[in-house]
Amino acid sequence: MKPHAEIAGAGFGGLVAAVALAQRGWSVRVHERTPAIRAEGFAIAMQPNMLRVLESLGLREEILRGGLLIVRRETRDEKNNVTMALRNQGAHRVSRQHIVNVLAQRAMQLGVDVRAESAVAGADPSGELILASGERLRADLVIGADGVNSAVRDSLGLLARRRVTGDGATRVMIPRTAEEVAEDDTLGPLTCEYWSGTRRVITSPCSRDEMYAVMSCLASDERARAVPIDVESWSASFPHLASLFERMRTQAEWPRVKWSPFETMRLHAWSKGRVAVLGDAAHSMTPNLGQGTGCAMMTALALAASVDASGDITGSLREWERRERPLIEHTQRWSSLYGHVTVWPQALRSLAFRALGSVGWLRRQYQRTAQHIPTGYSPDGTGGLPARRTAP
């Protein structure tokens, strides 16, 4: 008889876990509280570690067809001077909804039961997922991938610390101009991070037709937090981006947009009995390294590989956490450190970015997660449990 898993949450972590388990012969049911499978946010940078997860699922090429390879990354100051420039980082910018759609489709092709409007109330360590309706579903493995406000995590008392950092961001998508597309053809697609005081703007194409933009600021900066955008206020901080802000005002889908605070979360443990917690439910982090989703995907693949390699579910979950948690906490620390520059003087911030671009040790620390080879990585999409290692 097939082992069975019940999963709360149809985001990146939940769907990667569902596909990876189904590939290994498990029966899987996924519960999503919303009426449709929709991604939070708009676009994401798919870095090498994430691409390895997708490769292991046999989905890399299908997902990348919906995105764009970014070959240049820069940071710039309030005068538009370049403070860091990197090339050929291997990141693809892709629509989040496209990725979720592909993952959900593959899960269902493998026989996974994906249920929308199925809210979860908690879990029992013995191996039960408890629905909001009161129904209790038995499983060999229960996974809580139900986000920062996880009902599964909270029902098990696993939360150790939850810290709101004092800053946050607004994210939008807008159409690209002919000039921006032409620049791709001559110089290559660019992700650019602009700083002015405690405000930041990140722009990145995610296809030939669409641009993804992020505007981050302190929680106390009410004009910068405004939705829709306060064009006058942002243009005063970044005069060279005034036309971009005006495009955002008229072209962004503002009813879908909100300002969201950044936060970091740590648990006493990632599992209890037969229940595991992963993704933002277990280790949310600031988005400064672009690795919150990557960590969710890696831990989901590693979880599937770990439990499939042993008949001892509880022991496998403890070993999974022992193996994966150090890298995840490294990522949280370095993402948090990067965020500290928000309140630094511009001159000091520019020096820090130059160091990140030129000092090998620093660059290796903040790129360590992006270059990681995930547990369970298999280039032929068949899975497996190789020895833990990190790419040089």
Q: How far is CA 191 from CA 90, 196, 202, in A?
A: 12, 17, 7
Are 272 and 112 in contact, with CB atoms under 8 Å apart?
Answer: no
Order the strands of the 199-205 sheet from edge to edge: 43-46, 82-95, 67-76, 190-196, 199-205, 210-218, 159-175, 259-267
CA distance 331 to 135: 37
Window from 85-89, 179-183, 346-350 with minimum mean pLDDT: 85-89
Residue type for position 338: Y
CA distance 128 to 389: 34
In a domain? residue 330: yes
Task: Identify which of 144, 137, 55, 147 has the alpha carbon closest to the alpha carbon of residue 92.
Answer: 55
Task: Identify which of 277, 373, 271, 263 has the alpha carbon closest to the alpha carbon of residue 13.
Answer: 277
Structural domain containing residue 270 = 4-67+96-164+264-343
Decide if pLDDT at 40 tops 80: no
Q: Burial, 114: exposed, middle or buried (Cβ in 10 Å; 0-12, 13-18, 19+)? A: buried
In a domain? residue 225: no
- The number of domains in the chain is 1
**pLDDT band for position 369 (50/70/90)?**
very high
Q: Burial, 35: exposed, middle or buried (Cβ in 10 Å; 0-12, 13-18, 19+)? A: exposed
In a domain? residue 18: yes
In a domain? residue 290: yes
Using CA atoms in the order 163, 265, 217, 78, what is the torsion angle rounded to 10 degrees?
A: 120
pLDDT tens for 151-165 read 999 999 999 999 998
**pLDDT band for position 392 (50/70/90)?**
very low
Task: Identify which of 376, 364, 267 has the alpha carbon closest to the alpha carbon of residue 325.
Answer: 267
What contacts 345, CB < 8 A, 6 or more positions away? Answer: none
Decide if pLDDT at 88 tops 80: no
Instruction: Sort strands 389-390 and 372-373 into parallel, antiparallel or unpaired.
Output: antiparallel
* H or E segment and range at residue 251: helix 242-251
Produce one character per residue of 305-323: b if its CB has 16 or more CB atoms within 10 Å, e if not.
bbbbbeeebbebbeebbee
What are the tokens at 152? Answer: 């599964």
The pLDDT value recorded for residue 139 is 98
Q: Please compute the mean of the pLDDT values over residues 339-345 and round it to a whole number.
A: 86
CA distance 113 to 136: 16
Q: What CATH number is given to the structural domain containing 137?
A: 3.50.50.60
Window from 83-92, 195-204, 269-278, 378-387 with minimum mean pLDDT: 378-387
Are 291 and 338 in contact, with CB atoms under 8 Å apart?
Answer: no
In a domain? residue 175: no
In a domain? residue 115: yes
The pLDDT value recorded for residue 358 is 80
Rg (CA), the chain: 21
The pLDDT value recorded for residue 70 is 93
In a domain? residue 148: yes
The predicted model scores a pTM of: 0.91
CA distance 172 to 243: 15
CA distance 56 to 350: 38
In a domain? residue 206: no
